[in-house]
Amino acid sequence: MLLRNRSRHFFDRKKNEDWQTNTMNIGSKYKASSVNGAAIRRLLAVLLSVVMIALKNGSLLAHENTLFSYTRSLRSDDADEGALHKVSVSDQFTDSSRCRLTLNLIDAATKESLPGLVRITTSEGHIVPLEGLFNRGTGLRQQHPSRDWYVLLKSNTVSVPRSRLKIEAFSGLETKLAKKTIDLTDKISARTILPLVRFHRAATSGWRNGNTHLHLMSLTKDQADQYLKSISQADGLELVFVSYLRRAKAERNYISNTYTKQQLQQLSGHGVMFSHGEEHRHNFGSGGEGYGHVMFLNIEKLIRPVSIGPGIMSKGTDWPALSRGIDKANLDGATTIWCHNTFGFEDVPDWIAGILDAHNIFDGGSRGSYEDTFYRFMDIGLRVPFSTGTDWFIYDFSRVYVEVEEPLTVERWLDGLEKGRTFITNGPLLKFSVGEYNPGDVVRLARPCELNISSRAVGRCDFQKIEVIYNGRVVQSAPSQPVGGHFEAWITTPLWINEPGWIALRISSEQKNEMGAKLFGHTSAVYVEIAGKTIFNPEVAKKLIANMNEAMSTIREKANFADDKQADEILNVYREGITSLNKRLKQQ
């Protein structure tokens, strides 16, 4: 009963062209604006005033539970135009107090150019704005730490003060931080190369990373193109899913909605693949908790309605349930991922019904816990692949690594994600096995026995500690150690496996990465069956039943339905979940 229904994989994943025709055609005004800078500035002024008005009445930011974190971390009313479009550096080059500095980042081993991020600081500790380079914090608030960093894709010349400067650079998650101090006093021009040393190469062992949740707003199409291509390359992202979403009125600024499937494919190159998705959602009120948000990746056609209910769309009723859209997406061969930790009511019945493929955490903020997002489902025997992304703008390095065979394709990567061959991270890179079993695998034992745990984490920033988790308990841990400019931790010890359940590796750290985000890292689980038995924790099941009963009370209180039939259809989603768990409880 709790087994996942995989029958939908009999359906062909072949996609048709409906995506293009279904995409809202609001891109024409952006295309026209790319013709000249004055038009861009005029358009930006209009867009920014719309953003400001929307910010004041609170409607624009109320995308989801991320309201709070979005206000703190992402684009807000102090985001300026300066970060959004190229500034001419010609004036600065004629200034006698400035130096023309040509910068290049190379792979220390191969000597080839390597895209990355660069930050230049004066001896007084001031960040030097690098006009002409794309700002890594584009779209984010002025004080966001990412605003100090600039994208350098290949050798480029910038204008800097004629003084002593510190230059720092890195590429993605797999190189050390390179640092160099140069003295440009009395220099008109200079040239410097920063070799970046790799301490890890996940791709060579078959681990490829992706961001499953991304939207952009209030940029022109050209800026959005530049944003997607340059930041993905500098961050070492390999797959980026840009998803369509709807909200009455505010959607006029959702530039990411204007991309067709073909346009996203055309943006691909330089080691980055772009694909598409849809965020299907329901809130009570504009941003309050409702049925929840779910991502459909690699969809054949838009699942309608894209957004449900008057909270988001200012019309209609709070019907249908998300499960109806999830079923349709599954029939079309899409990958279905629950978003935003445990935000929304329907994650519980939908996981119990086996209609979801993976679960995102920290996509749109750092709040939430592994316990309420993943562990409680795994504690009743469900297999829940770990996944993540960033939601509005790429405000962090959050990504999911998937073990996948060559050649890398979107379909193969999503297949690996659905099988739980994953780890999530915004810094440390993880490797974990139980005996010869890897994340996503099921270890079937006849009786309790000892198996070797093999864990390893490496990272540029200090992730402090790794922990092996067995059915929610820390059973082994090891501190990180500095190793020549990066950090590593290992555990290679036998573990006594005496109960069915799940085992995974995570880091535990209070440190932050260069984007100012607290470090996280967690593998999907290796599942354990002993004598044919899977884990089923009755106390957790009872809490999930209580959770579904509470959800039904809230829905009865808040929802607007056209008739009893609509109400019944929504409430039945929860009733079926409760019945299913009650049956399991009786079997105990």
Task: By CB under 5 A, name the binding residues for Zn ion.
Answer: 279, 391
Which of 402, 381, 465, 396 is closest to 427 using CA atoms? 396
Check: CB of residue 532 under 8 Å from CB of residue 443: no
Q: Which amino acid is at 508?
A: S
Check: CB of residue 103 under 8 Å from CB of residue 135: no
Check: CB of residue 453 under 8 Å from CB of residue 434: yes
> Nearest approach, Cβ of 391 to Zn ion (angstroms)?
4
Nearer to Zn ion, 284 or 393 (CB): 393
> Nearest approach, Cβ of 394 to Zn ion (angstroms)?
13
Phi-psi region of 435 (alpha: psi -120 to 50; beta: other; left: phi over 0): left
> Nearest approach, Cβ of 257 to Zn ion (angstroms)?
12
> Nearest approach, Cβ of 213 to Zn ion (angstroms)?
6
> Nearest approach, Cβ of 251 to Zn ion (angstroms)?
12
> Nearest approach, Cβ of 243 to Zn ion (angstroms)?
7
Nearer to Zn ion, 79 or 242 (CB): 242
Tell me how far apart the alpha carbons of residues 66 and 365 are, in angstroms, rounded to a whole number: 6
Nearer to Zn ion, 27 or 364 (CB): 364
> Nearest approach, Cβ of 219 to Zn ion (angstroms)?
16
Nearer to Zn ion, 54 or 567 (CB): 54
Nearer to Zn ion, 340 or 421 (CB): 340
Check: CB of residue 105 under 8 Å from CB of residue 179: no
DSSP 8-state class, residue 536: -
> Nearest approach, Cβ of 49 to Zn ion (angstroms)?
24
Backbone CA torsion sign across 167, 389, 221, 263: positive
Nearer to Zn ion, 279 or 467 (CB): 279
433 φ, ψ (degrees, to nearest 5): -150, 155
Tell me how far apart the alpha carbons of residues 542 and 231 are, in angstroms, rounded to a whole number: 45
Residue nearest to Zn ion (CB): 391
Nearer to Zn ion, 279 or 357 (CB): 279
> Nearest approach, Cβ of 279 to Zn ion (angstroms)?
5
Check: CB of residue 357 under 8 Å from CB of residue 336: yes
Take residue 352 and report the two structure tokens written for it: 């119990």
Tell me how far apart the alpha carbons of residues 163 and 168 are, in angstroms, rounded to a whole number: 16
> Nearest approach, Cβ of 97 to Zn ion (angstroms)?
45
β-bridge pairing 207-215 and 239-244: parallel
List CB contacts of 179: < 8 A, sequence separation 6 or more.
166, 167, 168
Nearer to Zn ion, 279 or 514 (CB): 279
Nearer to Zn ion, 295 or 478 (CB): 295
> Nearest approach, Cβ of 563 to Zn ion (angstroms)?
31
Residue 195: beta bridge partners? Answer: 106
Nearer to Zn ion, 395 or 527 (CB): 395
The CA–CA distances, whole Å, from 486 to 105, 180, 181, 309, 431 equal 19, 17, 20, 49, 16
> Nearest approach, Cβ of 295 to Zn ion (angstroms)?
8
- Work out the angle at residue 238's Cα, subtended by the Cα atoms of residues 210 and 80, and round it to the nearest 5 degrees: 80
Which of 106, 256, 305 is closest to 196 using CA atoms? 106
Nearer to Zn ion, 238 or 279 (CB): 279
> Nearest approach, Cβ of 367 to Zn ion (angstroms)?
15
Nearer to Zn ion, 391 or 441 (CB): 391
Residue 491: beta bridge partners? Answer: 455
Nearer to Zn ion, 245 or 461 (CB): 245
Residue 525: beta bridge partners? Answer: none
Take residue 32 and report the two structure tokens written for it: 């026209």
70 φ, ψ (degrees, to nearest 5): -65, -45
Nearer to Zn ion, 311 or 439 (CB): 311
DSSP 8-state class, residue 512: B
Backbone CA torsion sign across 237, 242, 243, 245: positive
Check: CB of residue 457 under 8 Å from CB of residue 491: no
> CA dihedral in degrees (311, 314, 320, 325; nearest 10)?
-90
Backbone CA torsion sign across 340, 341, 343, 346: positive
List CB contacts of 9: < 8 A, sequence separation 6 or more.
333
> Nearest approach, Cβ of 24 to Zn ion (angstroms)?
16
Nearer to Zn ion, 74 or 458 (CB): 74
What is the SS3 string spanning 357-416?
CEEECCCCCCCCCHHHHHHHHHCCCCCCCEECCCEECCCCCCEEEEECCCCCCHHHHHHH
Take residue 456 and report the two structure tokens written for it: 């390893």
> Nearest approach, Cβ of 588 to Zn ion (angstroms)?
38
